[in-house]
Amino acid sequence: MKKVIFACVHNAGRSQMAAAFFNRLADPARAVAVSAGTRPAARVHPEVIAVMAEVGADLAAASPQLLTRELARGASALVTMGCGDECPYVPGLAVRDWPLEDPKGQSIERVREIRDEIRRRVQEWVNDEGWALR
């Protein structure tokens, strides 16, 4: 089974959405995702919780966490979420960068657009890798 890490600076928006979609779309016997940040926020952005609830994903209990060596142990890929120089680096991991706008402070309509783009990217990757639920 593969372990994928979705990471951004605060782990309060993009990476939370990506991990939630990944874990809904991927077969857990093939791949699972976690999310983390280099400077975790105190909580997930309320607008992110709201737009994810609209698509049946409950992030109300989600909590930002620090990207540590222990968390990265055994991972096969790291997906950074467009955070530039502040993105985490984990030696030995295949890295993908998805340049996505931070949803913090955005209108609910814009957060929905970001959510939908994340879902599209996750779905495409899960399908391409053969990790999709059958």
For the chain, 134 residues long, the average pLDDT of each consecutive 10-residue run is 94 98 98 95 97 98 93 92 72 87 95 98 98 90
Determine the pLDDT at residue 88. 64
Determine the pLDDT at residue 118. 98
Determine the pLDDT at residue 23. 98
Determine the pLDDT at residue 109. 98
Determine the pLDDT at residue 125. 98
C-beta neighbour count of 112 within 10 angstroms = 17
Q: How far apart are CA 88 and CA 107, in angstroms?
A: 27
pLDDT in tens, 96-106: 999 999 999 99
Give CATH for domain 2-129. 3.40.50.2300
Determine the pLDDT at residue 84. 67
Q: Is 115 left (phi over 0), alpha (psi -120 to 50) or beta?
A: alpha
Determine the pLDDT at residue 94. 84
